[in-house]
């Protein structure tokens, strides 16, 4: 059995799948430690996994990023993307590295698992010193550059042909040098601060190609074609949270009886300070439709929604694996986990995402034919209503969702990850 160290940034949507992985590995007999933000400590410990808290700049509170990072709320578009990359992911490198190296010095690990945004892994990869095998887990769309794929961060639709490749190259160079030039320089300074002899070349978003094995927690039908995918990268399917069966269901649950279409609307668990970005417009836009709208706030009390339309119900949280079989269409801001959860149940989507990696997810949903990309994070009630009508009336969206859903059901992310850990252990101990 292996001694495994699991690393996750202090972001709920990233911690959740990594904790599922840690719990599964522990159940398989491995010794597992997990480092992430202090607010997740009790949750990690309850899972029977040894908790190692992050500290300093890496111990962020993702429930209110605008308060945690003054100035963030004033940024827009590419400025917000650059701000988030610098402050949320590059600034924490030193403190993540300190925690990581301390954990490895206290007890060496046979394998280190990390998720995409845990940039504290970069000094380990860049150091010429011996290190344990490193396995990456993709909890956001694959950021790796390719001539055939629109550059990550632009939210551009996929296209083929010479003109598309030319567009990709021009936009990619613009993003690398104009938008991300500053963060790229910050990364190099952070690396040499951690490891003076660090060896790192290339674009920081191409880090998946540097690790021993990178397991993208998605399926190929929800991503663009990548004929040049490096052999160390594979798609293994999503890791979805499991429902323990103990969560109490609301008193109105019996109304989800199939007598009318159910429209689920959520802003996830991160972008929930302003529920009028998406939940509000959805409630207003569908108020006169013959549907039942279920609004899940992801944390804030439902009272913040104000009086609900007659055809709407609300909850703070609901177990998605129990809810999704009853849902006809999901309106979402494009969270990676929520989108996969819906598609795992063949639920088509209306996506309105403009922050973090959400425009990239929305573009992939549209490309897969599994839903509609509204190309805004703040749609009008009319935009939401018209999109929901289109999805309900057009079977092609359900068909597209089913294609992705079939791929998800045929995948076994946890089993593949466990097998990969065992394979790495065998290589270490022939």
Which CATH code is given to the segment(s) 3-237+412-428? Answer: 3.40.50.2000
User: Strand ranges (DSSP E) for 44-156?
Assistant: 50-53, 111-115, 134-138
Which tokens in the block code for residue 122? 């970069």
- Out of 65-79, 152-166, 188-202, 378-392, least confident range: 65-79
Query: Residue 159 above 70 pLDDT?
Result: yes
Asked if the model's pLDDT at residue 291 lies above 60, the reply is yes
pLDDT mean over 255-267: 96
Give dist(CA 240, CA 246) in Å, integer. 17
Lowest mean pLDDT among 72-76, 85-89, 96-100, 283-287: 72-76
Q: Which CATH superfamily, name and number, covers 251-409?
A: Glycogen Phosphorylase B; (3.40.50.2000)
What mean pLDDT comes out for the span 5-22? 96
Crossing angle (nearest 10°) for helices 12-27 and 336-344: 60
Same fold, 3-237+412-428 and 251-409: yes
What are the two backbone dihedrals, phi and then psi, of residue 143, each rounded to the nearest 5 degrees?
-90, -5
Q: Is 213's pLDDT higher than 80? A: yes
Q: Is 27 helix (H, G, I), strand (E, B) or coil?
A: helix
Query: Is the distance from CB of 81 to CB of 179 less than 8 angstroms?
Result: yes
Domain extents in the chain:
3-237+412-428, 251-409
Q: Per residue in 168-209, pLDDT tens? A: 999 999 999 888 999 999 999 999 999 999 888 889 899 999
Q: According to the model, what pLDDT value does residue 244 have?
A: 57
For 346-357, what is each residue's pLDDT tens digit? 999 999 988 878
Structure-model confidence comparison of residues 67 and 367, the more confident one: 367
Interval 309-336 mean pLDDT:
96
Q: How confident is the model at residue 45 (pLDDT cuts 50, 70, 90)?
A: very high
pLDDT (mean) for 213-237: 97
């Amino acid at each position: 059995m292996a001694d495994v160290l699991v690393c996750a940034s202090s972001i709920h949507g990233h911690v959740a799948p990594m904790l599922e992985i840690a719990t599964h590995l522990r159940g398989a007999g491995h010794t597992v430690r997990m480092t992430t933000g202090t607010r997740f400590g009790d949750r990690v410990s309850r899972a029977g996994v040894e908790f190692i808290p992050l500290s300093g700049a890496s111990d962020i509170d993702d429930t209110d990023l605008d308060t945690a990072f003054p100035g963030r709320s004033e940024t827009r578009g590419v400025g917000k993307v650059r701000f988030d990359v610098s402050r949320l992911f590059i600034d924490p490198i030193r403190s993540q590295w300190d925690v990581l190296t301390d954990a490895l010095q206290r007890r060496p690990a046979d394998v280190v698992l990390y998720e995409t945004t845990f940039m504290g892994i970069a000094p380990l990869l860049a150091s010429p010193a011996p290190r344990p095998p490193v396995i990456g887990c993709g909890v956001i769309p694959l950021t790796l550059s390719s001539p055939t794929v629109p550059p990550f961060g632009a939210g551009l639709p996929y296209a083929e042909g010479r003109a598309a490749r030319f567009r990709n190259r021009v936009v990619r160079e613009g993003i690398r040098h104009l938008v991300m030039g500053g963060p790229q320089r910050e990364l190099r300074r952070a690396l040499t601060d951690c490891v003076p002899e660090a060896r790192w070349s290339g674009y920081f978003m191409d880090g998946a190609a540097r690790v021993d094995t990178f397991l993208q927690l998605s399926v190929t039908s929800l991503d663009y074609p990548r004929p040049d995918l490096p052999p160390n990268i594979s798609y293994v399917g999503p890791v979805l949270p499991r429902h323990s069966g103990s969560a109490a269901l609301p008193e109105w649950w019996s109304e989800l009886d199939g007598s009318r279409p159910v429209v689920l609307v959520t802003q996830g668990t991160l972008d929930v300070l302003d529920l009028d970005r998406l939940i509000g417009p959805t409630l207003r836009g569908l108020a006169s439709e013959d549907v039942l709208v279920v609004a899940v706030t992801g944390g804030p009390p439902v009272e913040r929604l104000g009086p609900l339309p007659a055809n709407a119900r609300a909850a703070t949280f609901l177990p998605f694996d129990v809810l999704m079989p009853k849902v006809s269409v999901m309106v979402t801001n494009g969270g990676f986990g929520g989108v996969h959860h819906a598609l795992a149940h063949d639920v088509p989507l209306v996506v309105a995402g403009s922050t973090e990696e959400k425009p990239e997810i929305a573009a992939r949903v549209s490309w897969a034919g599994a839903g509609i990309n509204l190309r805004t994070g703040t749609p009008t009630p009319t935009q939401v209503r018209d999109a929901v009508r289109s999805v309900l009336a057009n079977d092609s969206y359900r068909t597209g969702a089913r294609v992705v859903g079939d791929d998800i059901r045929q995948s076994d992310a946890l089993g593949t990850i466990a097998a990969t850990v065992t394979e790495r252990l065998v290589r270490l101990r022939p």
